[in-house]
Amino acid sequence: MAISLVTGAAGFIGSHLAEALLSRGDRVIGIDHFNDYYDPLLKRKNLAHLSNHPSFDLVEADIQQVDWSTLLAGVDVIYHQAAQAGVRASWGHGFRTYTERNINATQILLEAAKESTHLKRLVFASSSSVYGDAETLPTHELICPQPVSPYGITKLAGERLCLLYHRNFGVPTTVLRYFTVYGPRQRPDMAFHKFFKAVIEGGSIAIYGDGQQTRDFTFVSDAVAANLAAADAPEAIGNVFNIGGGSRVALTEILATIEQIVGEPLRRDMLQSAIGDARHTAADVSKAQKLLGYQPQVTLTEGLTQEWVWLKSLYL
């Protein structure tokens, strides 16, 4: 039985990944700090259905405080999903939290991985935020990263640490750059969660800018599939991959789709563009297709419908 370790296991993507690993027969060690960036009760709900699974062990701890030499004994793959997320909160006095959780914690994990004789792969969850306002769309991995937010800078630093530890110490690292992941269990600070919750509560939604900004949206099961592929493909080691959903969509089109799904119009509050938000993102996933066999499976309408069903079960 393979042993997988998932950091941020109670989070949005981490909980789906832990579930998928258990479903295929792995033993899974999940680590989560349950910090208060958003309601820890939501994170506990994410894992509630796994709490009694015989092959799942949950460690409640800060990555920087864990006894890694003991915990990594026998671990085959580390899926490093834990991070301090959110672009807008990364400015100002909050930045130190981002450096601690996105850079320092990753370095500590890599130091432990360096000493592991059993580890076959460390998959690092990065973000399209490293590109900033990319000059080329769709964006490929050789484009020079130019983050436009402190968050993006910390994710890029985490990437570079992974590649340094691979180059200098042979740590078998792989980097995945997620493009706007959505779906059931999405964090409450993310746009689709906010939009659907506003419908349920009869409130309005905040639109930053003119609504013509575009994103490449990735359904959570596709992000999970990319992680599993990155852990298995020999060619993945030492490489960086874009993980996108396959289509670039304007916010106005998203809002129209949501209105069709919920069957009522959305009330909009038009606000100034937020500092640190990229204007457009679009993933060139040809490298992931070639080396990982990655192919997004879930359309935006299908994925949004699944998220709507989940949010109704959460709030109604």
How far apart are alpha carbons 233 and 77 in whole angstroms? 12
- Segment 30-76, tens digit of pLDDT: 999 999 999 999 999 999 999 999 999 999 999 999 999 999 999 99
Which region, left, alpha or beta, applies to residue 37 given φ > 0 means left and ψ of -120 to 50 means alpha?
alpha
- Rounded to 5 degrees, φ, ψ at 261 are -65, -45
- Segment 184-233, tens digit of pLDDT: 999 999 999 999 999 999 999 999 999 999 999 999 999 999 999 999 99
DSSP 311: H
pLDDT at residue 45 in the model: 97
**Domain total for the chain?**
1
Q: Which residues are catalytic?
A: 151
- Segment 155-170, tens digit of pLDDT: 999 999 999 999 999 9
Are the C-beta atoms of 75 and 29 separated by less than 8 Å? Answer: yes
Are the C-beta atoms of 219 and 298 separated by less than 8 Å? Answer: yes
Q: How far is CA 211 from the centre of its chain?
A: 23
Tabulate helix, strand, coil % of the chain (nearest 5). 45, 20, 35
Provide the mean pLDDT of the chain.
97
In this prediction, residue 136 has a pLDDT band, given cuts at 50, 70 and 90, of very high
Q: What is the CATH number of the domain that holds 95?
A: 3.40.50.720
Reply yes or no on whether the pLDDT at 247 is more than 90. no
pLDDT at residue 246 in the model: 87
pLDDT at residue 206 in the model: 93
pLDDT at residue 135 in the model: 85
In this prediction, residue 84 has a pLDDT band, given cuts at 50, 70 and 90, of very high
Look up residue 136 and give its two tokens. Answer: 């080329």
In this prediction, residue 2 has a pLDDT band, given cuts at 50, 70 and 90, of very high
> Which domain range does residue 59 map to?
3-315
pLDDT at residue 143 in the model: 96
Average pLDDT on 174-179 reads 98
Between the CA of residue 258 and those of 101, 188, 197, 210, what are the distances in Å? 33, 17, 12, 18
How far apart are alpha carbons 31 and 82 in whole angstroms? 9
Residues 6+ apart with CB under 8 A from 38: 187, 188, 189
